[in-house]
Structure 1
Amino acid sequence: MYNLQVPRAYQQSPVCNSQQRWPVGMTISRGLIVQAPLISRRQLHVVSRSRTNVKPASPTPLKFKDYNIPSHDLLMPDFCIPLILLYPNPQLSNPSASKTAIINLLKKTLSETLSEYYPFAGRLSSSGSHVDCNDEGIHFLEAQIACSLSEILEKNPVRDEKEGYGHLFPPGSIWHNVSYSRNLMAVQLNHFSCGGIAIAVILSHRVADGLTLMSFVSYWARLSRNLNDQEKLVHRSPCFVHELLLPQSGNHNLTATQFVAPEKNWITTEIVFPHSKVDKLKAELEMQDEQQGIIINKNYTRNELVTALLYRCAVTAATASNSGTYTKSVLLQAVNMRPVIDPPLPKTSVGNLITCNHIPTDTMNETKLNTLVGQMRKGMMQLRGSKSMVGKEAFALIDKYTKLIYKVYAISSICKFPLYDETDFGWGRPVKAAVVDTPLVNFIFMMDTPSRDGIIATVSLEKQDMENFLANKELLACASF
């Protein structure tokens, strides 16, 4: 009988409590950690890292041993999507046992979750066209990090190991191609010097999109909270719907797309758009539309406005970098097809069930906010009622517009996904959740702030473009950095 008592109570602050011993070189001023840059560089590293293998709790039935990857998934790159969740120090009744209890709980429930998401514990074939669901399991790493959680929270979610989140993931895994003997998934549990923890998860894009990864983590967390009441998880189980969308006969003969993630040559930063500022922009824009007799774009959503604003400011920055000459550009807005396909698919459907709403702009005049929103809505209407994913492969659109010599900007949003509420493993919500960095330049990820009072955008642009972008007056009126 497995019985773990993990209280949910947490400190109010993500920093260590007053009894915590601070590393040498740190001082406290008005509750903030102050540290010299050279000391910071020396201390932000992995003290130790160990690795074990976690296998599914129950074997995969023989009829499910061969998982044919759908055709639209074969066109996705096989690099790893990196998600991280950061939690402050739990106040346990027996602190000496807390670390072991949490590790054991996470491993046990991860094992049971893998039984449901059985392909993720298998191995990708050499052709990349199918998964051998052999239950070999996934790597579970544990790392002791020589800094406090509060220091990590001050950093941008970039892949750099000294100034970002790189050391919190399995080495070389952030947006890199599947490694670890072609494992599809890996987890790293990080322990900070103050007692806080971070759970970093990577999953191959070849078999799943970001929403599938979040559904996996949500199931894992809910199972951890309801260890002895698994009936609550029935409606959370994964749905493997690829057979319903595309015929899979002869899939072994299909060739998977070969994609090598480029070395990073861009700048990544986080930008926050408070709802109060976006609502002000919304009111101003709707007033302008009314004065001009425009009625089609009334009732703008925050997501639409922030997406349009980010794109407009990005292309404006690129124009400034190009001596004022506008470069043909295209906005690729990621669309979750689960609620769009007819009939709609369950939220827990597994796979790359995304496409892109594509909006080319050949002149700056076409980047007006109301124009962009109108084009977004037109594209969404065209996608509704789709019967399959045929012809809707996201990376195929990137390739198409690249060949047409368009500068491609991809924006993906997981706003309104209950990420913070769904990732409570039994000790409270994370203080931060993030998709770390981006796979390519000119990519933007949007998600809710922890308190849901704004939108956080992780933006990746070329260096000069980023400088111009951060100086944009339209952006500065709605955002903070």
Structure 2
Amino acid sequence: MISRRQINVISRTETNIKTDSPTPLNLKHYKLPSHDRMNPDLYMPLVLFYSNPQLPDHTTSIANLLRNSLSKTLSKYYPFAGRLGSSGSYVECNDQGINFIEVQIACNLSEIMEKAPVKDEEEGFGHLFPPCSIWHKVSCSPLVLVQLNHFSCGGIAIAVCLSHRIADASTLLSFVTYWASVSHNPSDEEKLVQLAPCFVQGLLPNSYDDDFVAKEVLLPEMNWITAEMLFYNSKIAELKANQEKQDKLNGVVAEQNYTRNELVTALLYRCALAAAAKSNSGAYPHSVLFRTVNMRPLMDPPLPKTSVGNLVVANHILASTMEETELHSLVGQMRKEKKQLTGMKSLVRKEVMSIFEKYAKENYKQYAVSSICNFPLYDKLDFGWGRPVNASLMDAPFVNIFTMMDTPNGDGIKVILGLGKEDMKNFRADKELLTYASFYH
């Protein structure tokens, strides 16, 4: 049993990392498109764990290797080394650099791995990140923060925070993947060209209206509980078989061919609504599920995987009764919404936050789900000493949210979720949910 003691930071040093080469004058002003300006000015927090990193070349330290490769990476991702302009609608690419913090922590990696991915400074992962960085406002601060944590056992954790105003989770992972590749094999020019960022200003017409002012998005104070749960592939296969059997009994003619992502998303939404209804004397609320969709492969023409920005659109799936939460019905809505996005040429008026506001005014209970399943979360994040033993996006930025990602060994889906206290109690006791999922903590 891990003791519930506060984990102490022994030492902390901070360095400013600048670009390896100066940003050209013609690239000094990076104008943000409307779909970026509508995003909250908050840090997205990612942490990567490595159990026993060993460098074959003992002439340099892990910290120096990471700092040098990060400097080279910032030369490619040059806006990330700048500062957000006063209007919030552009980045001043002034090469001011980013913060790199190195910390010694008085515990073993195994102790950290037993904890929930929450920002509690004493019991959670909060001490693995720079202070006030986990889903905190960026404002005039650096757009990227990095913290290298050394544990007593020799393991490390690399925490990276990136402004959501300028990028989505896909861009965050592309950035770290490029950094890892520069660190691991800087001479592989062909690979680095493939992983290099693509800035899409010329590819998305009508997205750069100068009159479109960046929106101030205020998220509520912490009033939810964060938990982590696992859906093993074997259990998802069981859920799929049971659902296909149920479809036949109900006379559902269409061949659904359910995916893992669709089934887990639909089940999470169904059980979250059942929990909310139980908290509300059995009455189902008018609700909407926002499901973020990566638009890079759906655009016409498709955008490169390494395209920089918030290139997502939120599908919205409505439900107000238990009958409307049948899995085949929810999956049908998801597919219909996604089909309508295929072949889009512009993201104008498709901003995620504006859709949130629409349903908030209509008093819908709002849920959100995002997925980084099938993204390069493990195999491509080798800085020179092997893949991470675990990785996680941290905490929940607001209530009623689910974040899905692959498990480290690919045997299932990990979900980090945030629900209100009463809803979480009911959700964790849902028998249908517990048939297919288990809570990690």
User: TM-score interval w.r.t. the shorter chain?
Assistant: over 0.9
Deviation per CA, 1:27-48, whole angstroms, max 9, x where unpaired? Answer: xxxxxxx4443xx22xx12222
CA contact (8 A) 1:46 1:146 kept: yes
- Alignment CA distance shift 1:297-1:257 (3 Å): farther
- Give unmatched runs, 5+ long, in structure 1: 1-33
Match of 2:22 in 1: 59
Q: Distance in 2 between matches of 1:120 and 1:459?
A: 28
CA contact (8 A) 2:88 2:214 kept: yes
- Alignment CA distance shift 1:93-1:387 (3 Å): closer
Match of 1:450 in 2: 408
Match of 2:364 in 1: 406
Match of 2:117 in 1: 157
Q: How does 1:440-479 map to 2 (within 5 A)?
A: 440-479=398-437
Q: Secondary structure at 2:277's aligned position in 1?
A: helix
Post-superposition shift, 1:287?
1.6
Corresponding letter in the other structure for 1:263 = E
Match of 2:387 in 1: 429
CA contact (8 A) 1:175 1:261 kept: no
Post-superposition shift, 1:259?
2.1
CA contact (8 A) 1:55 1:137 kept: yes
Q: TM-score, normalised by structure 2?
A: 0.97
Corresponding letter in the other structure for 1:371 = S
Post-superposition shift, 1:275?
0.5
Q: Secondary structure at 1:189's aligned position in 2?
A: strand
Post-superposition shift, 1:72?
1.3
Q: Distance in 2 between matches of 1:246 and 1:378?
A: 26
Determine whether 1:350 maps to 2:313.
no
Q: TM-score, normalised by structure 1?
A: 0.89
CA contact (8 A) 1:223 1:230 kept: no
- Alignment CA distance shift 1:123-1:93 (3 Å): closer
Determine whether 1:373 maps to 2:317.
no
Q: Distance in 1 between matches of 2:376 and 2:130?
A: 26
Post-superposition shift, 1:463?
0.7
Q: Secondary structure at 1:111's aligned position in 2?
A: helix
Deviation per CA, 1:120-160, whole angstroms, max 9, x where unpaired? Answer: 00011111111110111101011111111001111111111
Corresponding letter in the other structure for 2:195 = R
Corresponding letter in the other structure for 2:146 = V
CA contact (8 A) 1:296 1:374 kept: no
CA contact (8 A) 1:242 1:351 kept: no
Post-superposition shift, 1:418?
2.3
Q: Distance in 1 between matches of 2:122 and 2:141?
A: 27
Corresponding letter in the other structure for 2:26 = K
Corresponding letter in the other structure for 1:190 = N
Post-superposition shift, 1:297?
4.8
Determine whether 1:238 maps to 2:197.
yes
CA contact (8 A) 1:88 1:195 kept: yes
CA contact (8 A) 2:10 2:104 kept: yes
Q: Distance in 2 between matches of 1:309 and 1:230?
A: 44
CA contact (8 A) 2:33 2:208 kept: no
Post-superposition shift, 1:247?
3.4
Post-superposition shift, 1:91?
4.3
Corresponding letter in the other structure for 2:80 = F
Q: Distance in 2 between matches of 1:405 and 1:309?
A: 23
Q: Secondary structure at 1:72's aligned position in 2?
A: helix
Structure with greater Cα Rg: 1
1:303 to 252, 257, 261: 261
Q: Distance in 2 between matches of 1:333 and 1:36?
A: 38
> Percent of aligned pairs with the same residue?
60
Q: How does 1:78-477 map to 2 (within 5 A)?
A: 78-91=41-54, 101-179=61-139, 181-247=140-206, 251=210, 253-477=211-435
- Give unmatched runs, 5+ long, in structure 2: none
